[in-house]
Amino acid sequence: MSNQKEINRRRTFAIISHPDAGKTTLTEKLLLFGGAIQVAGAVKSNKIKKTATSDWMEIERQRGISVATSVMGFEYNDVKINILDTPGHQDFQEDTFRTLTAADSVVVVIDVAKGVEPQTEKLVKVCRMRNIPIIVFINKLDRPGKDAFDLLDEVEQKLHLTVTPLSWPINMGPSFKGVYNIFSHSLNLFSPGKQIIEEGIAINNLEDKKVDDYLKEDADQLREDVELIENVYPKFEIDSYLGGKLSPVFFGSALNNFGVKELLDNFIQIAPSPIGRESDIRKVLPEEKSFTGFVFKIHANMDPKHRDRIAFVRIVSGVFKRNTYYQHVRLNRKLKFSSPTSFMAQKKSIVDEMYPGDIVGLHDTGNFKIGDTITDGETLNYKGIPSFSPELFKYIENASPMKAKQLAKGIDQLMDEGVAQLFTGKHTGRKIIGTVGALQFEVIQYRLEHEYGAKCRFEHITLYKTVWYKSSDQDQLKDFRARKATQIALDKDGREVFLADSQFSLQMAQQKYNNIEFFFTSEF
């Protein structure tokens, strides 16, 4: 099969977690082991100028959280690894949901002290629906936390995963000594080192006398734990993992490099190489010769000096080649890309060829929307990239009349990114921003000012939901539009949306206009 070697050596995965579980720190250390960076960044401290590679937006540096998905690629042991570092904060979960459509597997990060948190439950539920293979990394073992066996029970109960440990911690908190790698039967001891990698000492057999020499009084406890694991938890089988039916668990401390190398070494052995995707007409396999890919993210101003806009494309099949004409399916137009890029967070380098599993960045002048498909010429569309009905709404007003053009451009580009949705009242012409979380309003306001030089203010509006609608009953549509004229707006694509001010109002509309279909996502 063509390009099979390149496909087989690629691993594309997303890292998901609740905020503050250490997801971005884990990303940093994976990059550190891969040689992609020399010094790990400080994600939390505003006093340290060195910040995380994946948190490169100014607002992320100030708050110490991720607000946008970052894409990073690096080589490790002749494997090309593509990491999608997603926002953990629930206000940005829509970005994470879309990113999961571009990932072939997932690493879930859990804080050893806090255990499974609500946001993690939501994200893992999406992964289970898609049968995405999941690896669990229990983090912060250098701090006191829950008993390891209790944590495994919690993961099984709350996340509804069948788990099997592939590494095991030797103590935790101040007495944490390292991890035993069950998968490769080796013991790895580490010295804490936040900025540099400390090499471990490998021991091939738990019965080895060296285990007693290194672990002293903890040696027998480790042997007991491992024996219990072998009797209680299912044996790791790669097919069960790849089918989303079994989730291996690793323990470690990303901040101190405990267990990260074990995770990475095992990940490249067991994680899936690029898999196919369902389109509206058939399943597309990575081995196919014809190029296809889809846009799962758009980001404006990755380089504020150049006001550039990048569409992130997940390659599904074939080979993407620079300076080649490809079909933009929605626009039915041929487009050529002279400077496709690969990513290390905001650092970009021009590439000539990219393969299935890779994420390629295409400079965009406004041609792309999230969910767009590009191909060698075949007319197909990839499915399952959602746009949700927002939960929170505000009017957006210009706070600096001299900058109306900058504000319009800024809103236009930020909405294309999918950070929020824009609705324009048909009756009033007023613009309404809808988001799934309150923090997004702050992000929009901040980015409009610092990236576009435009100031805005938000005004309160009472809205319950925005719902898309359609019907073949023209009489009902005409009556609905006449009676609800002040509650109808247009979305960014010019489609009509009903602005329901209460749950009761929506239910009454659904009952009265029974020939009109109402939709809570734009994918219908």
**Angle subtended by helix axes 404-416 and 439-452, to nearest 10:** 130
| Mean pLDDT over each residue of the chain, to the nearest integer | 83
Same-domain pairing of 408 and 356: no
pLDDT band at 58 (very low <50, low <70, confident <90, very high): low
Residue 488's φ and ψ, nearest 5 degrees, are: -110, 135
Same-domain pairing of 412 and 368: no
Residue 307, pLDDT above cutoff 90 = no
The domain boundary residue, chosen from 248, 270, 292: 270
What gap in Å lies between CA 411 and CA 422, rounded to an integer? 8
Pairing assessment for the beta strands 325-328 and 333-336 based on DSSP bridges: antiparallel
Residue 385 resides in a domain: no
Residue 453 resides in a domain: yes
Average pLDDT on 419-447 reads 86
Residue 299, pLDDT above cutoff 50 = yes
What gap in Å lies between CA 126 and CA 100, rounded to an integer? 8
Average pLDDT on 389-416 reads 87
The full 3-state SS of 215-263, as one line of letters, equals HHHHHHHHHHHHHHHHHHCCCCCHHHHHCCCCEEEEECEHHHCECHHHH
pLDDT band at 319 (very low <50, low <70, confident <90, very high): very high
Same-domain pairing of 514 and 468: yes
**Over pLDDT 70: what percentage of the chain?**
84
89-93, 321-325, 410-414: lowest mean pLDDT where?
89-93
- Would you state the structure tokens that stand for residue 393, as one six-digit string? 């709404």
pLDDT tens-digit readout, 227-279: 999 999 999 999 999 999 999 999 998 888 788 888 998 999 999 999 999 99
Residue 492 resides in a domain: yes
The parent domain of residue 281 ranges over 277-375
pLDDT tens-digit readout, 61-109: 444 444 344 678 888 989 999 988 776 445 455 667 778 889 999 999 9
Cβ-Cβ contacts under 8 Å for 469 (sequence gap 6 or more): 480, 496, 497, 498, 516, 517, 518, 519
Residue 314, pLDDT above cutoff 70 = yes
Average pLDDT on 271-293 reads 94
pLDDT tens-digit readout, 149-166: 999 999 999 999 999 999
Cβ-Cβ contacts under 8 Å for 509 (sequence gap 6 or more): 480, 484, 498, 500, 516, 518
Judge contact between 119 and 157, C-beta under 8 A.
Answer: no
Same-domain pairing of 255 and 337: no
Runs of H (alpha helix) within 417-461: 439-452
Task: CATH number of the domain at 288, please.
Answer: 3.40.50.300
| Strand partners for 105 | 13
Same-domain pairing of 396 and 439: yes
pLDDT tens-digit readout, 14-27: 988 887 888 888 88
- At 43 the pLDDT is 36
pLDDT band at 483 (very low <50, low <70, confident <90, very high): very high
Residue 291 resides in a domain: yes
Average pLDDT on 364-378 reads 88
- Would you state the structure tokens that stand for residue 357, as one six-digit string? 């599993």
pLDDT tens-digit readout, 494-511: 899 999 999 999 999 999
293, 433, 288: which is closest to 371 by C-alpha? 293
Residue 391, pLDDT above cutoff 90 = no
Cβ-Cβ contacts under 8 Å for 494 (sequence gap 6 or more): none
Residue 64 resides in a domain: yes
Same-domain pairing of 241 and 307: no
Same-domain pairing of 371 and 424: no
Cβ-Cβ contacts under 8 Å for 145 (sequence gap 6 or more): 111, 112, 113, 151, 172, 173
Same-domain pairing of 46 and 162: yes
Residue 460 resides in a domain: yes
Judge contact between 212 and 195, C-beta under 8 A.
Answer: no
- At 110 the pLDDT is 95
Average pLDDT on 345-368 reads 82
H or E element in which residue 483 lies: helix 474-483
pLDDT tens-digit readout, 434-473: 887 777 788 888 888 888 899 999 999 999 989 999 999 9
The domain boundary residue, chosen from 247, 270, 293: 270
Residue 81 resides in a domain: no
Same-domain pairing of 248 and 339: no
pTM (two decimals): 0.76
The full 3-state SS of 335-383, as one line of letters, equals EECCCCEEEECCEEEECCEECCCCEEEEECCCCCCCCCEEECCCCCCEC
What gap in Å lies between CA 257 and CA 198, rounded to an integer? 7
Judge contact between 124 and 117, C-beta under 8 A.
Answer: no
Same-domain pairing of 221 and 151: yes
- At 122 the pLDDT is 79
- At 213 the pLDDT is 76
Judge contact between 351 and 360, C-beta under 8 A.
Answer: yes
Task: CATH number of the domain at 507, please.
Answer: 3.30.70.3280
Specify the length of the chain in residues. Answer: 524
| Strand partners for 111 | 115, 139
* 3-class secondary structure, 25: helix
Same-domain pairing of 16 and 151: yes
Same-domain pairing of 170 and 227: yes
Query: Which DSSP category does 428 fall into?
Result: T
More confidently predicted of 457 and 217 = 457
Number of domains in the chain: 3
